Amino acid sequence: MKHRAGFVNIIGNPNVGKSTLMNAFVGEKLSIITSKAQTTRHRILGLVNGDDFQIIFSDTPGIIKPAYELQESMMDFVKSAFDDADILVYMVEVGESELKDEAFFNKIKRSKIPVLLLINKIDNSNQEEVEKKVNYWKEKVPNAEVYVISALENFNVEPVFERIVSLLPPSPPYFPKDQLTDKPERFFVNEKIREKILLNYKKEIPYAVEVETEEFTESDDIIRIRSVIMVERDSQKGIIIGHKGSALKRVGSEARKDLEKFFDKKVYLDLYVKINKNWRSDKNQLRRFGYQE
Ligand code: GDP
Ligand code: MG
């Protein structure tokens, strides 16, 4: 049987469940998930390998109108998702009726490649509303195949997966068959720490934070990690650390537990906080953190 492989790009508004879906497909927590918009900043690939196929899922940041340089770069990741896709997965949630960016929306409607439109979070809805939404979206994006799913509860995810497999073009694999993702281990450490920051701090704090892992040393029985949490201002540094270091300690211990599961090994995690003024608007810094080519 001939081998098939292709890129499947998942796009949509912030918070509709794109990362949850990719993790459901891949079966690992590659992408961090929180209830906050802009949790995903990079484009993250997740691979699913079968004997005669390879699917390269690509999770992207939610589509927004960029307000600063970091967000510009985030939208470049979304644009590049259009360019190399073999199949487009356009995700909406039950409550929503249009994409925030019209240019993207028109691109989807004129797409030459297959479009699967997934209406997610139907666990939050009822039969009547779901049927209404299906009709609405079929009319709005006539070139799409419409599915209703719950990524969180893994409802109807399998038929979508099967459909994707059947749409893959003939091609040899793009990545080694035992590989799970294109990102290095340090990337997942940074993302896991960022997830805990998103969950533990309010308002603008998480958006001002970038994490960089300076040391990752693996031995037979333990991984030693040292990561720096960068903030833009002195006041933010105080908030991250918290009273007698309590807040930072909590982030560290929550992240360490998840990382031990992810790597299946004991982890020693050393965290510290540094001020890095205006990194979000600095092209050189964004390049260093992997947001620009
Ligand atoms: P993304 O911004 O599109 O990547 O969305 P995420 O995958 O980060 O999910 C955003 C929020 O929606 C999280 O709180 C998820 O737990 C939640 N979510 C995702 N899928 C579903 C679903 O099928 N049903 C419900 N009720 N919540 C979901
Ligand atoms: Mg996401």
Atom of ligand 1 nearest to the CA of 124: 26
Mean pLDDT of 254-280: 92
The C-alpha angle 278, 289, 42, rounded to 5 degrees, equals: 105
Please tell me the pTM assigned to this model.
0.81
- CA-to-CA distance for 252 and 271, rounded, in angstroms? 7
Segment 97-148, tens digit of pLDDT: 766 677 778 888 888 899 999 999 999 999 999 999 999 999 999 999 999 9
Residue of the nearest CA to atom 21 in ligand 1?
152
Ligand 1 centroid to Cα of residue 5, in Å, is 27
What is the residue whose two structure tokens read 């993207």?
104
Question: In this structure, which amino acid lies at residue 104?
Answer: F
Domain 4-167: give its CATH superfamily.
Answer: P-loop containing nucleotide triphosphate hydrolases (3.40.50.300)
Is the separation of the CB atoms in 193 and 247 below 8 Å?
Answer: no
The residue type at 257: K
At residue 9, the 3 state secondary structure works out as strand
Ligand 1 atom closest to 12 (CA):
3
Parse the chain into domains and list their residue ranges: 4-167, 185-288
Map residue 56 onto helix, strand or coil.
Answer: strand
Average pLDDT over every residue of 74-98: 83
CA atoms within 13 A on the CB side of 135: 5
CATH of domain 185-288: 3.30.300.20
Return d(Cα 114, Cα 145) in angstroms, integer: 8
Query: Among residues of the chain, what percentage have pLDDT more than 90?
Result: 58
Q: Please check whether residue 213 is in contact with residue 226, taking contact to mean a CB–CB distance below 8 angstroms.
A: yes
Which of 9, 13, 21, 33 has most ligand 1 atoms within 8 Å of CB, for mutation?
A: 33
Question: E strand or H helix at 162, and its extent?
Answer: helix 157-167
Backbone angles phi, psi at 182, to 5 degrees: -95, -5
